[in-house]
Each structure stands twice: as C-alpha cells, then as structure tokens.
Amino acid sequence: MNFSCLAALAGGASLAGLLWAEARDRRSARAAPKVATSLGFVGLALSSGARDSYGRLVLGGLVLSLAGDAILLSRERRAFLLGLLAFLGAHLAYAAAFALASRPRGLALLPLAAVSGVALRWLWPHLGSLRLPVSIYTTAITAMLWPALGSSRLEVGCGALLFYLSDLLVARGAFGAPGKVNQLAGWPLYYAGQYLIAASVG
C-alpha cells in the first residue's frame, strides 16, 4: 500500500472522529481529529515531491489551509479574521497554481460570478462590519474555482468545486443559518476537496 492510500485512509478515520465530535457538540474533542485530517493533505502533497511551480503553490495553499483550520478552532472574532486571511492566501495560491495548468474559459466565469453574487447578496444583511473582508474572500474563491474548472485533470476541478461548496456552507453557518448540517455536510466536502487538490501534485 503506497503513501497516498495510507494518507487517504488516515484522513478518513480522523474525519470520522471530527464528525463524531461535531454531532455530539464536543468542541474540546474536535481539535485533534481536525488538525490530524489537515496534516494528512499536507503530507500527501509532500510525498509527491511538490518540486515544480505548480506543486509548490499548491503546497503553500495546503499549508495555509492547515494554519486556517488550526486558528479557527477558536471562536474569538480575531481568530475568525486571521483564519479568513489564511484561507484567502490559500485560495490565491491555488488560483495561481491552477492558472499554470489550465485554460479557463471566459464564459465559465459568468455563471460562477452569478452564483457567488447571489450567495453574497443573501449573506449581506448578516455581515455587518465584515462585509468588505467577506466580499474580498468571495471574489478570491471564485477566482480560484474558475481556472480549476479549465484544467484537464479531474481531481483539480472536482477538488476546487468541493472546496468552494464547503466555503458556502461555512458562510451559511457563520452568518445566515447556523446548524449542525453546515458542519456535518461541509467537513466532508472540504476535506475531499483538499485531498483531491493535494493528489494533483506530481
């Protein structure tokens, strides 16, 4: 069994622990499985070498995502903003990587921008002083997904799309409609997306 399979199995096991903690509202039990699952996607990329520009950019995005996951274990407002900044950097790194390995179609940007615009419009009344940072972040995730969908590698497009959808659920839970469904659906989407993106390295 190669390292990629081991990383996927370990990630699945730790994700199951995270989902259990979320379902039981055991916040103190979330930290270890969450960080372990995030370390898995970084390890998966590292095992592939990440020697070229694409690999280094993706690895940078994965490391920033790991940092964001760790920071967002806290519920403090400052931690939320720092976590948002870490994930903003991750999306920008991914966007730069995907632009190197794809031919994005101009027309594809229109429906993506429309979906992001509708989501932002729905969140707008709930954002308060966070309207500007959330608007910037929404632009970044759209910019990340657009070149990914132009890639010939299925794991890139699928991974980026799953990450995008998980971000919508995070926003829904944080600002629009809190509830367990956001975490229980969002975490599998997020980690599946990140592991697919990590698998695209090498």
Overall residue count recorded for the chain in this entry: 202
Report pLDDT for 41: 94
3-state secondary structure string across 142-170:
HHHHHHHHCECCHHHHHHHHHHHHHHHHH
In the chain, the number of structural domains is 1
Copy the structure tokens of residue 149. 């969908």
Report pLDDT for 1: 56
Helix, strand, coil: what percent of the chain each, to 5?
A: 85, 0, 15
Residue 112 domain boundaries: 3-199
Report pLDDT for 148: 94
pTM strictly above 0.95: no
Report pLDDT for 10: 82
Task: Give me the residue label for tokens 């592991």.
Answer: 195
Residue ranges for the chain with pLDDT beneath 50: none
Closest to 195 (Cα-Cα) out of 32, 18, 3: 3
Query: What secondary structure letter does DSSP report for 74?
Result: S
pLDDT tens sequence across 47-75: 887 789 999 999 999 999 999 999 999 98
3-state secondary structure of 104: coil
Separation between Cα atoms, residue 45 and residue 60, nearest integer Å: 10
